[in-house]
Protein backbone atom coordinates (compact mmCIF):
# COMPACT_ATOMS: atom_id res chain seq x y z
CA UNK A 1 0.00 0.00 0.00
CA UNK A 2 1.59 3.24 -1.13
CA UNK A 3 1.53 6.47 0.86
CA UNK A 4 0.77 8.81 -2.03
CA UNK A 5 -0.18 12.45 -2.24
CA UNK A 6 -3.49 11.81 -3.96
CA UNK A 7 -4.64 8.24 -3.35
CA UNK A 8 -6.42 6.76 -0.36
CA UNK A 9 -3.85 5.77 2.27
CA UNK A 10 -3.64 2.34 3.84
CA UNK A 11 -4.37 3.74 7.29
CA UNK A 12 -7.49 5.50 6.01
CA UNK A 13 -8.59 2.34 4.20
CA UNK A 14 -8.35 0.25 7.37
CA UNK A 15 -9.57 2.80 9.88
CA UNK A 16 -12.22 4.77 7.98
CA UNK A 17 -13.09 3.35 4.54
CA UNK A 18 -13.53 -0.29 5.66
CA UNK A 19 -15.97 0.24 8.57
CA UNK A 20 -18.04 2.70 6.54
CA UNK A 21 -18.45 0.64 3.36
CA UNK A 22 -19.18 -2.50 5.38
CA UNK A 23 -22.47 -0.81 6.27
CA UNK A 24 -23.54 -1.88 2.76
CA UNK A 25 -23.69 -5.42 4.21
CA UNK A 26 -20.45 -6.92 3.02
CA UNK A 27 -17.14 -7.50 4.75
CA UNK A 28 -13.53 -7.70 3.70
CA UNK A 29 -10.13 -8.11 5.32
CA UNK A 30 -7.35 -5.69 4.44
CA UNK A 31 -3.85 -6.88 5.34
CA UNK A 32 -1.13 -4.30 4.68
CA UNK A 33 1.99 -6.39 4.09
CA UNK A 34 4.27 -3.52 3.23
CA UNK A 35 3.99 0.26 2.93
CA UNK A 36 5.64 2.07 0.05
CA UNK A 37 6.55 5.74 -0.07
CA UNK A 38 6.73 8.24 -2.91
CA UNK A 39 8.48 8.15 -5.34
CA UNK A 40 9.58 4.50 -5.05
CA UNK A 41 6.23 2.95 -4.19
CA UNK A 42 6.45 -0.78 -3.67
CA UNK A 43 3.63 -1.13 -1.16
CA UNK A 44 1.70 -4.38 -0.94
CA UNK A 45 -1.80 -5.04 0.39
CA UNK A 46 -3.84 -8.25 0.38
CA UNK A 47 -7.64 -7.87 0.34
CA UNK A 48 -9.91 -10.86 0.96
CA UNK A 49 -13.66 -10.55 0.53
CA UNK A 50 -16.58 -12.95 0.83
CA UNK A 51 -19.06 -12.60 -2.07
CA UNK A 52 -22.59 -11.40 -1.34
CA UNK A 53 -25.89 -11.66 -3.21
CA UNK A 54 -26.55 -7.92 -3.16
CA UNK A 55 -25.58 -4.71 -1.37
CA UNK A 56 -27.90 -3.14 1.17
CA UNK A 57 -28.62 0.61 1.10
CA UNK A 58 -27.23 2.85 3.84
CA UNK A 59 -28.62 5.79 5.78
CA UNK A 60 -25.85 8.02 7.14
CA UNK A 61 -27.69 11.19 8.09
CA UNK A 62 -27.13 11.52 11.86
CA UNK A 63 -23.71 12.89 12.79
CA UNK A 64 -23.99 12.81 16.58
CA UNK A 65 -21.28 14.26 18.82
CA UNK A 66 -17.56 13.59 18.67
CA UNK A 67 -16.60 11.03 21.33
CA UNK A 68 -13.04 10.04 20.37
CA UNK A 69 -10.09 11.50 18.48
CA UNK A 70 -7.15 9.23 17.73
CA UNK A 71 -4.54 8.52 15.09
CA UNK A 72 -0.94 7.81 14.24
CA UNK A 73 2.02 9.93 13.19
CA UNK A 74 4.53 7.75 11.37
CA UNK A 75 8.04 7.79 9.94
CA UNK A 76 9.84 5.20 7.84
CA UNK A 77 13.30 4.68 6.42
CA UNK A 78 15.98 7.22 7.33
CA UNK A 79 13.73 9.63 9.24
CA UNK A 80 14.01 9.91 13.06
CA UNK A 81 11.09 9.15 15.38
CA UNK A 82 11.34 12.74 16.65
CA UNK A 83 9.56 13.89 13.48
CA UNK A 84 6.59 11.67 14.32
CA UNK A 85 6.50 13.05 17.87
CA UNK A 86 6.63 16.63 16.53
CA UNK A 87 3.78 15.96 14.07
CA UNK A 88 1.67 14.43 16.82
CA UNK A 89 2.28 17.26 19.29
CA UNK A 90 1.54 19.97 16.71
CA UNK A 91 -1.70 18.25 15.68
CA UNK A 92 -2.87 17.92 19.29
CA UNK A 93 -2.14 21.60 19.99
CA UNK A 94 -4.12 22.64 16.91
CA UNK A 95 -7.14 20.47 17.75
CA UNK A 96 -7.08 21.61 21.38
CA UNK A 97 -7.84 25.16 20.26
CA UNK A 98 -11.25 23.95 19.01
CA UNK A 99 -11.96 20.83 21.08
CA UNK A 100 -10.92 21.00 24.72
CA UNK A 101 -12.91 18.30 26.50
CA UNK A 102 -11.69 15.12 24.77
CA UNK A 103 -8.56 13.05 25.22
CA UNK A 104 -6.62 13.06 21.94
CA UNK A 105 -4.46 10.01 21.32
CA UNK A 106 -2.13 10.35 18.32
CA UNK A 107 0.59 7.73 18.59
CA UNK A 108 4.05 8.48 17.11
CA UNK A 109 5.37 5.30 15.45
CA UNK A 110 8.27 4.10 13.33
CA UNK A 111 7.39 1.65 10.57
CA UNK A 112 9.49 -1.55 10.83
CA UNK A 113 12.17 -1.66 8.14
CA UNK A 114 10.89 -4.99 6.81
CA UNK A 115 7.39 -3.52 6.31
CA UNK A 116 8.28 -0.29 4.54
CA UNK A 117 9.93 0.64 1.25
CA UNK A 118 11.67 4.00 0.98
CA UNK A 119 11.65 6.98 3.29
CA UNK A 120 8.48 8.82 4.23
CA UNK A 121 6.38 10.35 6.97
CA UNK A 122 2.82 11.41 7.61
CA UNK A 123 -0.06 11.59 10.02
CA UNK A 124 -3.65 10.33 10.08
CA UNK A 125 -6.21 11.58 12.61
CA UNK A 126 -9.70 10.09 13.03
CA UNK A 127 -12.72 11.48 14.88
CA UNK A 128 -15.39 9.00 15.97
CA UNK A 129 -18.91 10.14 16.84
CA UNK A 130 -21.71 8.87 19.08
CA UNK A 131 -23.56 7.50 16.03
CA UNK A 132 -20.53 5.62 14.69
CA UNK A 133 -19.46 8.15 12.06
CA UNK A 134 -15.75 8.29 11.20
CA UNK A 135 -14.14 11.42 9.77
CA UNK A 136 -10.45 11.90 9.12
CA UNK A 137 -7.72 14.38 8.37
CA UNK A 138 -4.30 13.45 7.01
CA UNK A 139 -1.10 14.89 5.63
CA UNK A 140 2.17 13.57 4.24
CA UNK A 141 5.63 14.92 4.88
CA UNK A 142 8.10 15.80 2.17
CA UNK A 143 11.61 17.16 1.89
CA UNK A 144 11.81 20.68 3.29
CA UNK A 145 8.38 20.55 4.94
CA UNK A 146 8.40 21.24 8.67
CA UNK A 147 7.01 18.41 10.82
CA UNK A 148 4.81 20.84 12.74
CA UNK A 149 3.24 21.97 9.47
CA UNK A 150 2.41 18.37 8.54
CA UNK A 151 0.66 17.82 11.86
CA UNK A 152 -1.23 21.12 11.65
CA UNK A 153 -2.40 20.38 8.09
CA UNK A 154 -3.93 17.08 9.17
CA UNK A 155 -5.54 18.65 12.24
CA UNK A 156 -7.01 21.52 10.21
CA UNK A 157 -8.37 19.08 7.63
CA UNK A 158 -10.09 17.10 10.40
CA UNK A 159 -11.52 20.24 12.01
CA UNK A 160 -12.83 21.44 8.65
CA UNK A 161 -14.52 18.08 8.08
CA UNK A 162 -16.11 18.30 11.53
CA UNK A 163 -17.21 21.89 11.04
CA UNK A 164 -19.55 21.28 8.08
CA UNK A 165 -21.68 18.80 10.03
CA UNK A 166 -21.64 15.91 7.55
CA UNK A 167 -21.45 12.22 8.43
CA UNK A 168 -18.50 11.55 6.11
CA UNK A 169 -15.40 13.57 5.37
CA UNK A 170 -14.59 15.22 2.05
CA UNK A 171 -12.26 12.39 0.98
CA UNK A 172 -14.84 9.68 1.66
CA UNK A 173 -17.72 11.35 -0.25
CA UNK A 174 -16.87 10.09 -3.72
CA UNK A 175 -15.71 6.69 -2.44
CA UNK A 176 -19.30 5.81 -1.47
CA UNK A 177 -20.95 6.69 -4.79
CA UNK A 178 -20.34 3.40 -6.61
CA UNK A 179 -21.64 1.37 -3.65
CA UNK A 180 -24.77 3.54 -3.40
CA UNK A 181 -25.33 3.02 -7.14
CA UNK A 182 -25.05 -0.78 -6.92
CA UNK A 183 -27.10 -1.23 -3.72
CA UNK A 184 -30.74 -2.34 -3.72
CA UNK A 185 -32.91 0.48 -2.39
CA UNK A 186 -32.49 4.11 -1.41
CA UNK A 187 -29.26 5.27 0.23
CA UNK A 188 -28.89 8.65 1.92
CA UNK A 189 -25.68 10.29 3.09
CA UNK A 190 -25.26 13.69 4.71
CA UNK A 191 -22.07 15.40 3.58
CA UNK A 192 -20.32 18.72 3.50
CA UNK A 193 -20.00 20.73 0.26
CA UNK A 194 -20.04 18.39 -2.75
CA UNK A 195 -16.53 17.89 -4.12
CA UNK A 196 -15.62 17.79 -7.80
CA UNK A 197 -14.61 14.13 -7.37
CA UNK A 198 -18.10 13.36 -6.06
CA UNK A 199 -19.79 15.21 -8.92
CA UNK A 200 -17.68 13.22 -11.38
CA UNK A 201 -18.39 9.91 -9.62
CA UNK A 202 -22.15 10.59 -9.69
CA UNK A 203 -22.03 11.48 -13.39
CA UNK A 204 -20.29 8.26 -14.40
CA UNK A 205 -22.31 6.08 -11.98
CA UNK A 206 -25.52 7.29 -13.63
CA UNK A 207 -24.04 6.75 -17.09
CA UNK A 208 -22.94 3.20 -16.33
CA UNK A 209 -25.86 1.99 -14.19
CA UNK A 210 -29.59 2.57 -13.77
CA UNK A 211 -29.01 4.37 -10.48
CA UNK A 212 -30.43 7.87 -9.99
CA UNK A 213 -28.86 10.46 -7.69
CA UNK A 214 -30.21 13.68 -6.21
CA UNK A 215 -28.25 16.21 -4.16
CA UNK A 216 -30.20 18.66 -1.98
CA UNK A 217 -29.25 21.21 0.63
CA UNK A 218 -29.79 19.77 4.09
CA UNK A 219 -32.40 21.46 6.26
CA UNK A 220 -30.22 22.16 9.28
CA UNK A 221 -31.20 23.70 12.58
CA UNK A 222 -27.79 25.36 12.57
CA UNK A 223 -27.68 27.60 9.47
CA UNK A 224 -23.88 27.79 9.67
CA UNK A 225 -23.62 24.10 8.70
CA UNK A 226 -23.02 23.78 4.95
CA UNK A 227 -24.42 20.27 4.55
CA UNK A 228 -26.10 18.34 1.76
CA UNK A 229 -28.04 15.09 1.39
CA UNK A 230 -26.78 12.76 -1.33
CA UNK A 231 -29.64 10.38 -2.15
CA UNK A 232 -29.48 7.46 -4.54
CA UNK A 233 -32.05 5.02 -5.85
CA UNK A 234 -29.67 2.12 -6.40
CA UNK A 235 -29.87 -0.25 -9.33
CA UNK A 236 -30.02 -3.34 -7.09
CA UNK A 237 -27.29 -5.30 -8.79
CA UNK A 238 -27.59 -9.05 -8.13
CA UNK A 239 -24.70 -11.50 -8.01
CA UNK A 240 -25.99 -14.26 -10.35
CA UNK A 241 -23.53 -16.82 -8.96
CA UNK A 242 -25.08 -16.92 -5.48
Q: What is the pLDDT of residue 1?
A: 43
Q: Which residue has the higher pLDDT, 7 or 196?
A: 196
Inform me whether the pLDDT recorded for 117 exceeds 50.
yes
Q: What is the mean pLDDT of the chain?
A: 92
Q: Each residue of 58-106: pLDDT tens digit?
A: 999 999 999 999 999 999 998 999 999 999 999 999 999 999 999 999 9
Say which CATH class 66-163 falls into. alpha beta
Active site residue: 85, 184, 197, 212, which one? 197
Burial 44-63 (b: 16+ CB within 10 A, else e): ebeeeeeeeebbebbebbeb
pTM of the model: 0.90
Strand boundaries in 56-119, DSSP class E: 59-60, 66-76, 104-110, 116-117
Q: Answer yes or no: 197 catalytic.
A: yes
Amino acid sequence: MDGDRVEIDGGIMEGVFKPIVEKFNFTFNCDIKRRGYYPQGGGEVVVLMSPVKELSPINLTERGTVTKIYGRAFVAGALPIKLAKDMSAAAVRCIRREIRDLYINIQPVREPDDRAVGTGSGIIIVAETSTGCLLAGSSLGKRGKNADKVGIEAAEMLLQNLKHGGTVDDSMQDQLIIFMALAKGVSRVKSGPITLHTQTAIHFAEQLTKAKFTVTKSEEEDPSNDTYIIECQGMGMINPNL
